Amino acid sequence: MIRDNARVLAAAFVSALADLRAIYTWRTWTFAWLSRILCQVAFFAVIGTLLASTERTHYLLVGNAVYIASLVSMFVCASTAWERQTGTLPLLVAAPTSPFTLFVGRSAQWLIDGSVCASIALFVLGPLFGVPLPMPRVLLAIPLIILVAVSTYCFGLVLAGVALRNLELRNLVGNLGGLVLMVICGVQVPSSFWPSPIHEIAQVLPLTHGLQAVRHLLAGAPGGSVLAEAGLELCVAAGWLTLAALTFRQFAESGRRDGSIEFGD
């Protein structure tokens, strides 16, 4: 069973890479997509500059650079819904393997895209805005950014289960989920800025602890505090992945019972 799931996951990942190559050429990715990402991060950093606050500038740049990993990973909501639009969903549900295993790998291109864009934004724009990037310690930010992307991807899979039931909401669900992460998870202001109930919600959302781990890392905090935040982010990822598995299982079983998984939109 484990070997079969690994084979399905690998095949889905290959398909995801093919999708990425179909969406972008190296020119369109570099000069259209990546440049757009860098402008977005720089825009928020400039706000800190206009406020004449070095601390605020650094806070906004780091927060928005790492957030890019979450922003791109949330595209899983839309790309998962594409399977129903193209009519392949019934075949996936009817297959002898778990459709969730396939969907985990099917949109993994966003993990690569988001992690690379976020890392480039941090390492390119950081020096331009005076953010200290102590070497080689700062290189540990890369696996933390990847962890943020994975955690958000698991969260996005849960929302993708909602999008599969309501295709017209696929972009709204993904964009709204990404906006919530930006607002309350410490990107623009600390999560403690918000009332206690919202602050508590942020603790179980992706990005919050991973971003805090990156901030601790760049600030030269003890390794224990960085690992603690990274560990919490990993726990959040595991929780959302479990919930996503249950969501897809319920979706597949209900679709088989009532025949609601149709061919095409």
In the numeric block, the tokens 């889905």 are attached to 12
Q: Is residue 170 assigned to a domain?
A: yes
Integer Cα distance of 174 and 81 in angstroms: 11
Q: Which residues of 71-89 are buried (b: 16+ CB within 10 A; e: fewer)?
A: bbbbbbbbbbbbbbeeeeb
Q: Is residue 259 assigned to a domain?
A: no
For 233-260, write each residue's pLDDT tens digit. Answer: 999 999 999 999 998 888 766 656 655 5
For 9-36, write each residue's pLDDT tens digit. Answer: 888 899 899 999 999 999 999 999 999 9
3 state SS of 204? coil
List the one residue out of 217, 55, 41 whose CA is nearest residue 134.
217
Q: Are 205 and 155 in contact (CB under 8 A)?
A: yes
Judged against a pLDDT cut of 80, whether residue 109 lies above it is answered with yes
Integer Cα distance of 77 and 167 in angstroms: 10
Q: Is residue 229 assigned to a domain?
A: yes
Report pLDDT for 259: 58
Q: Is 165 exposed, middle or buried (0-12, 13-18, 19+ CB in 10 A)?
A: middle
Report pLDDT for 101: 87
Question: Considering the chain, what percentage of its residues have pLDDT values greater than 70?
Answer: 90
- Residue-wise DSSP of 41-97: HHHHHHHHHHTT-HHHHHHHHHHHHHHHHHHHHTTHHHHHHHHHHTT-HHHHHHSSS
Q: Is residue 34 assigned to a domain?
A: yes
Least confident residue range of 49-58, 124-133, 157-166: 157-166
113 Cβ contact partners less than 8 Å away, ≥ 6 residues apart: 20, 72
- Residue 42, domain extent: 2-254
Q: Are 172 and 257 in contact (CB under 8 A)?
A: no
- Give me the mean pLDDT over the 219-241 stretch: 96
Q: Is residue 261 assigned to a domain?
A: no
| Cα 37 versus chain centre, distance | 15
Could you tell me the two tokens for 41? Answer: 């991060």
For 136-150, write each residue's pLDDT tens digit. Answer: 999 999 999 999 999
Q: Is residue 37 assigned to a domain?
A: yes
Integer Cα distance of 184 and 198 in angstroms: 7
Q: Is residue 264 assigned to a domain?
A: no
- Between the alpha carbon of residue 217 and those of residues 135, 172, 192, 205, the distances in Å are 11, 34, 20, 20
What 251-259 contacts at long range (C-beta under 8 Å, 24+ apart), as own/partner pairs, is: 251/161, 251/164, 251/165, 252/93, 252/99, 252/100, 255/93, 256/93
Integer Cα distance of 107 and 63 in angstroms: 24
pLDDT, mean over the chain: 90
- Give me the mean pLDDT over the 41-64 stretch: 96
Amino acid sitting at position 51? L
Q: How many domains does the chain have?
A: 1
Q: Is residue 14 assigned to a domain?
A: yes
Judged against a pLDDT cut of 60, whether residue 201 lies above it is answered with yes
Q: Which helix (H) or strand (E) holds 1?
A: none
